[in-house]
Structures are given as C-alpha cells and as structure tokens.
C-alpha cells in the first residue's frame, strides 16, 4: 500500500491542495454545476476490502465533495493526475494482484456472458465496450458472433475507423465511478456512437440509501485506492443523461439503461437485462 515515505511527491501534492484551501471550500458540481460542499475525508489507502484499510493508513487525506442539488459525490484529488501518476499510484501491479484481482479475467468473462444474453436475438448490433481494459470482454463477444470493439483511454484501443459514428450499443462496466470528468467521458462515448439509435449500459453502484449525513463515507464503494472517485446518485446519473439528450430508462441491479430519445429499444433491453440477471441468480441458487 501507499506510504508517504515511499512516495514523497504524492504527499507534497496533497499538502499543496490543503494549502490552497480547495479541500475545505465549496466547489461547482461536476455534473449539474450547483454548489457542492466538502462532505467527508478518507485516507488514500481506503479500498473495497471488508476492513477498508487492509494495508494500513497512508497518511494522505482525500476529501470528497457532495452536491446539494443532485447528490453527486466526487473528489478533486485526482483531477491533475498525469497518466504516469495513474499508473504509479492507482493502476499498478498491486491494483491488479490485490486491490481488484477480478479485473483481468473474472469480470470480463462475466460481463461477456451477461451481454451476450442481453443481446440474444438482437440484430444489426455494432457494439462498443468503453473502458474495456485489455479488450477481453469485446474479444469474447466477438467469439460469440457479435460485432464488438473495445476502447479504453488507458488500455486497449481497437476501434475501427469505419465504425466511428456507427456504434448503436455501448457498455461501460465499472467505469463511471473511476472518472475524474464524467461529462467529458460521456461526450467522448457519444462522439463514437450513432446520433439516433443508441443504448448504453452503465454498470456502477448508486449512493442512494447508502450514504447519509450520519454514516458519511463509511460505504466501502467510496475507495480512492480502487480509483472510485465519482459516486453517482440516481438523480445525478439522470442529470448526466439529460445533458446529452439521453433518456435514463432505469436500472436492473447496478446496471443502468440509457438510450437516445429516438430509440425504442430501451424497454426491451431492460427486460432482457432483468431476465438475464434473474436466470443467473436462479442458476447460482440451484
């Protein structure tokens, strides 16, 4: 885990933020631009483990703001991180071996299985797995006969130039909680997709009912060491969708269905997603 003695430049960076007063000042919400107040502070090493700090404290504080209007919770700590710092402090060897061991294989396989079931019987799908890491999910979907590409800003980028602007189905599984700028990411996704027929499946957990003024950021999902820096409420995710003329059609579990206003497929996709998740649970039960 990160220790100040090992990474003095990160500690200096944290103190520079503290000295500037940015942490203890209200800021403009990254989603709706309303006032977001400093809400709580956690240690940099807080992870999604059962005891939250399996590797001990780093001594580096990370402050999260909460929007008073839409409920979006976020930290500005990582806004100025360079790609090198992301790789050094978050997505390093320890991340893949200990922090999120399902990233490389288990999760892509599970995602591919679920997506292929959701798309069963759907024709003319041109799919994009945004934030797909190594590209394994897209690869497995192609092996199942689906036309699917992967685009990850820090990983695999196998988007074909001739498909830019033609994608009509997009998945972003466990991506949006990692974004320092969700609005720009949504803009990037839509720049590659069709302007009329489009469905987007976003996999991320919501804060509703989990984060309150009483328990603050005790929820494991708020975890800087996991790269969980943007925590959505239902209202803030709906707000993000409406900014781009998308309809938030609802969720099944932690998977959310967004679609173009001209698309009529959102209800079908939501039902297919519900059916797939229910079947998976029944198989696990029996």
% of the chain surpassing 70 pLDDT: 93
Higher pLDDT, 41 or 273: 41
Are residues 280 and 149 part of one domain? yes
Are residues 59 and 196 part of one domain? no
Higher pLDDT, 196 or 210: 210
Are residues 137 and 89 part of one domain? no
62, 79 Cβ separation under 8 angstroms: no
* Tens-place pLDDT, residues 11-63: 899 989 888 887 788 999 999 999 999 999 999 999 987 788 887 899 899 99
Query: What value does the mean pLDDT take over residues 125-145?
Result: 95
Are residues 161 and 66 part of one domain? no
What CA dihedral angle connects 176, 177, 180 and 182, to 10 degrees?
30
Bridge-based pairing state of the strands 127-130 and 73-74? unpaired
Quote the pLDDT of residue 286. Answer: 64
Are residues 148 and 45 part of one domain? no
Residue 3 lies inside a defined structural domain of this protein: no
Are residues 195 and 214 part of one domain? yes
Look-up of token digits 């990582």: 78
Q: Residue 125 is part of which domain span?
A: 106-285
Mean pLDDT score across all residues of the chain = 90
% of the chain surpassing 90 pLDDT: 68
CATH number, domain of 198, equals 3.40.50.150
Question: 37, 72, 99: which is the final residue of a domain?
Answer: 99
The total number of structural domains in the chain stands at 2
Are residues 150 and 113 part of one domain? yes
Are residues 150 and 221 part of one domain? yes
Query: What value does the mean pLDDT take over residues 145-163?
Result: 91
Residue 234 lies inside a defined structural domain of this protein: yes
Question: 71, 99, 127: which is the final residue of a domain?
Answer: 99
Question: 78, 99, 120: which is the final residue of a domain?
Answer: 99
Higher pLDDT, 67 or 253: 67
Residue 136 has pLDDT above 80, yes or no: yes
Query: What value does the mean pLDDT take over residues 177-206?
Result: 96
């Amino acid at each position: 885990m990160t220790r100040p003695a090992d990474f003095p430049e990160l500690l200096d960076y944290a103190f520079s933020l503290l000295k500037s007063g940015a942490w203890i000042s209200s800021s403009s919400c990254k989603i709706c631009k309303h006032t977001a107040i400093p809400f709580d502070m956690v240690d940099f090493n807080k992870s999604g483990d059962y005891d939250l700090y399996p590797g001990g404290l780093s001594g580096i504080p990370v402050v999260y703001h909460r929007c008073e209007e839409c409920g979006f919770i976020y930290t500005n700590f990582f806004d100025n991180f360079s790609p090198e710092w992301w790789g050094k402090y978050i997505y390093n060897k320890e991340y893949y071996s200990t922090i999120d061991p399902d990233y490389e294989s288990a999760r892509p396989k599970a995602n591919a299985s679920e997506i292929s079931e959701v798309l069963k019987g759907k024709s003319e799908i041109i799919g994009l797995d945004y934030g797909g890491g190594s590209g394994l999910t897209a690869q497995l979907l192609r092996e199942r006969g689906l036309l699917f590409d992967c685009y990850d800003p820090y990983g695999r980028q196998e988007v074909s130039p001739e498909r830019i602007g033609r994608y009509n189905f997009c998945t972003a599984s466990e991506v949006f909680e990692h974004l320092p700028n969700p609005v720009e990411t949504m803009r990037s996704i839509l720049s590659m997709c069709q302007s009329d027929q489009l469905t987007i499946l976003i996999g991320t957990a919501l804060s509703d009912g989990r984060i309150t003024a009483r328990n603050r950021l005790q929820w494991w999902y708020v975890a800087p060491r996991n790269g969980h820096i943007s925590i959505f409420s239902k209202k803030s995710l709906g707000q993000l969708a409406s900014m781009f003329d998308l309809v938030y059609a609802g969720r099944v579990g932690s998977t959310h269905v967004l679609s173009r206003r001209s698309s009529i497929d959102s209800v079908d996709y939501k039902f297919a997603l519900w059916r797939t998740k229910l079947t998976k649970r029944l198989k696990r039960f029996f």
